[in-house]
Amino acid sequence: MSQAELAVEVQNLSVRFGDFYAVNDICFSVSRGEIFGFLGANGAGKTTTIRVLCGLLIPTQGKISVAGVGLEQGEQAIKAKVGYMSQKFTLYNDLTVEENLEFAAALRKIKKEVYIKRRSELFEFVSFDRDMKTLVRDLPGGTKQQISLVASMLHDPELVFLDEPTAGVSPVARSRFWALIRKLAGQNKTVFVTSHYMDEVEQCHRIALMREGKIIGLDTPLALKSSTFPKLMFEFNPKGSLSFDEVMKLGSNPCFSFFEPYGLRFHASIADEKAWELIKSQFEKDFYIKVISPSLEDVFIKRVEERK
Amino acid sequence: MKFSWRRAIAIGRKEVFHILRDPFTLATALGLPVFMVVMFGSAIEFNVKNIDLAISDSDQTSASRRLMDTFQSSGYFKIHRVVSPNEALVNLTTETARASVIIPPNFEKDLTSDRGSQVQCLLDGSDSSTVAPVLGYLGKIQSISNDRIAAFNPTSPFELRTRFLFNPELNSKWFVIPGLNVIIMSMLSILLTALTVAREWENGSMELLLTTPVEPLEIIIGKLAPYGVLGITAMVFVYIIARAVFGVPFVGSLVVYGLGSLIFLMTYLSQGLLISVVTRNQQVAMQIAMMSGMLPSQLLSGFVFPIESMPIFFQKFTMIFPARWFMQISRDTFLKGSRMVDLGIPFLALIATCLLMMTLSTRIFKKDLEK
């Protein structure tokens, strides 16, 4: 892929705090117009990587290029190219929509006429039709997220970082928000997203799995699933009154490479097909069994949490 | 990247919205100083009055009665007549009296002789706050008594005549209010800003701010300015209360006083910001602000305890507290009419501390972000 098509390039990036490596020698690249997901447990190094890519943190070593700008050009040059939206804080609740957006525009020194034009474009983009004088605290969660996205896009960044953007909003609002993300990618904007909702992350073009500061997997959701579970995957739906502990004891059989609860059911991957054939009839007495394709949650549990 | 006034003003404007839409902050900033000045200004009284005094008169003559009348008419003492010197002593130990006067037998007779007479005064030394003023009153009462008992007045080689300048009636309100103003504003201003940066760290908005090209100095200036205006408004209210309610005269220049107030406020607001930047936690910031703002300004600013009476080390140590310098500016402009040239050292010290606090906040803020 040519340099011009890359939105993010990271080479041997490490961030060390004292003796602790928050990020340990990671390499990856993200193309323009790509929706790139970052998955990992808390403390895996996702936020630290994003902080470096936003120009908030100087790495201990490694090279980064964000929208063609490197750290050698200064972190302010990177900040001018990126937009950032976090779940923790979206907007100032005691300010109106207009005041929040004016504030965001002033911090980026956007000219008034450019700001007004851009604001109306983005309002149309997110289908915002409320009064701009509404206090943010009076808006529903989903609308707040939309306005947050508008605030992070006012300066027309080439790359947007969305750090758990839909945490705490309704499923309908989440679905609408993801429609916006896809629309952004359609406009050749690169979207870098972290989320704990697996169904959301599944909508990313590619996903990086992080554990203990390292990237332990990077591919499309489908490829990640097939590389994590190369063999058949089954769903076990208990028929009778087996207790959870009894089911898990059955699941500890060495013929399974993976056996984990999934709601009221259980997902299992076979390690030894011959051994499975021998005990299959025994399991069919207690479970309805069907072949399924693994979910991203299964991948996460298997690879990030490294459970059987 | 260059400092941008547009960004600093945007941050200031945002803070104004926060202040205006938070009735608690507004009420605290404007109402509390007024309330505290009225309350503490009425309560604090440095002139000690109504001191319980036990008098044992073993002479029972016209001279001893005149002496007792002088104590009575001074207005400072509440007289308890006792029958014996021993009872006068018991009154002290049982805390019925703070001081006892024992007039010996033959008081009048001795006065008329060449020997002169001695009256014993016993003071409760366990309460040093009353001892010093009582000693002052005793000297004055002795002098008046000698005049009253003119026939027995020994001739003095010279007479010491005292006149009090700037506060002729030694009205302690005139002294207390301009000082109280310093204490209240130092406490309040440090608290106002101690929470602002910490709050942004706690709710995550600081991260978002920092993803924009905003510079730490722009955040510092933007946050200081609105609270500075709020503080000055509170100072104006307090000034009006001091003049209108307590009748404290103001003989100095309002420009000098206003300028001093502004620098003083900015210094404490910057100290609050520094605390906020370092702690990043509202609760800890609040505790440190109270400790570093309230205690030194009350105890080491010269408000109650004169700095000249402190050990040399503490006299020097108080120089790091802005309240010490503004205490001087406030009292001197109110009562003595001191000009800018007379207050050069306090002004320079305040400016230096203010710049130091602002530089430290900005530097530490910047350094923190690069971690």
Query: Last residue of a domain, which of A192, A219, A246?
Result: A219
**For chain A, which residues lie within 8 Å of any Cβ of chain B, measuring from their own Cβ?**
17, 54-58, 74, 76, 79-80, 82-86, 88-89, 92, 94-95, 99, 102-104, 106-109, 161
Domain total for chain A?
A: 2
Q: Is the pLDDT of residue A308 over 60?
A: no
**pLDDT digits over B128-148, tens only?**
777 777 887 887 787 777 776
Question: Which carries the bigger pLDDT value, residue B25 or residue A215?
Answer: A215
Residue A237 forms part of a structural domain? yes
* 3-state secondary structure labels for all residues of chain B: CCCCHHHHHHHHHHHHHHHHCCHHHHHHHHHHHHHHHHHHHHHCCCCCCCEEEEEEECCCCHHHHHHHHHHHHCCCEEEEEECCHHHHHHHHHCCCCCEEEEECCCHHHHHHCCCCCCCEEEECCCCHHHHHHHHHHHHHHHHHHHHHCHHHCCCCCCCCCCCCCCCCCCCHHHHHHHHHHHHHHHHHHHHHHHCHHHHHHHHCHHHHHHCCCCCHHHHHHHHHHHHHHHHHHHHHHHHHHHHHCCCCCCCCCHHHHHHHHHHHHHHHHHHHHHHHHHHCCHHHHHHHHHHHHHHHHHHCCCCCCCHHHCCHHHHHHHHHCHHHHHHHHHHHHHHHCCCCHHHHHHHHHHHHHHHHHHHHHHHHHHHHHCC
| Contacts A57 to B, Cβ<8 Å | 370-371
**Per CATH, the architecture of B51-152 is what?**
3-Layer(aba) Sandwich (3.40)
Average confidence (pLDDT) over B104-124: 81
Count of CA atoms in the C-beta half-sphere (13 A) of B222: 27
Average confidence (pLDDT) over A95-124: 93
pLDDT for residue A134 = 94
Distances (CA, A) of B189 to A163, B118, B183, B293: 36, 55, 10, 9
**pLDDT digits over B273-318, tens only?**
899 888 888 889 889 988 888 788 888 888 878 888 888 898 899 8
Across the interface, whether the CB atoms of A80 and B370 are under 8 A apart is answered: no
pLDDT for residue B16 = 93
**pLDDT digits over A128-177, tens only?**
889 999 999 999 888 888 898 899 989 989 999 998 888 777 888 888 88
**For chain B, which residues lie within 8 Å of any Cβ of chain A, measuring from their own Cβ?**
1, 4, 6-7, 9-11, 13-14, 17-18, 21-22, 203-205, 207-214, 369-371
**pLDDT digits over A31-76, tens only?**
999 999 998 888 888 888 998 998 888 899 999 999 889 888 888 8
**pLDDT digits over B177-194, tens only?**
888 888 888 888 888 888
Judgement on whether residues A246 and A271 belong to the same structural domain of the protein: yes
Structural domain including A85 reads 3-219
What does the longest C-alpha to C-alpha distance in chain B come to?
A: 94
Residue A165 forms part of a structural domain? yes
Residue A113 forms part of a structural domain? yes
Question: Which carries the bigger pLDDT value, residue B149 or residue B78?
Answer: B78
**pLDDT digits over A255-301, tens only?**
888 888 888 889 999 888 888 888 888 888 888 899 998 988 889 88
Q: How far apart are CA B34 and CA B238, in angstroms?
A: 6
The number of C-beta contacts closer than 8 angstroms across A and B is: 70
Across the interface, whether the CB atoms of A102 and B6 are under 8 A apart is answered: no
Residue A201 forms part of a structural domain? yes
CATH number at A161 reads 3.40.50.300
Judgement on whether residues A155 and A80 belong to the same structural domain of the protein: yes
> Residues of chain B with pLDDT > 70: what percent?
92
Query: Last residue of a domain, which of A219, A237, A266?
Result: A219
Judgement on whether residues A273 and A201 belong to the same structural domain of the protein: no
Which regions of chain B carry the CATH code 3.40.1710.10? 51-152
Judgement on whether residues A100 and A183 belong to the same structural domain of the protein: yes
Judgement on whether residues A40 and A129 belong to the same structural domain of the protein: yes
Among B20, B212, B223, pick the best mutation site for testing chain A contact (most A Cβ within 10 A): B212
Q: What is the ipTM of this complex?
A: 0.77
Query: Last residue of a domain, which of A199, A219, A239?
Result: A219
CATH number at A267 reads 3.30.70
CA distance A253 to chain B (A): 46
Instruction: Give me the residue from B7, B207, B370 closest to A107, CB to CB.
Output: B7
Judgement on whether residues A175 and A104 belong to the same structural domain of the protein: yes
Quote the DSSP letter at residue A67.
T
Residue A224 forms part of a structural domain? no
Judgement on whether residues A139 and A96 belong to the same structural domain of the protein: yes
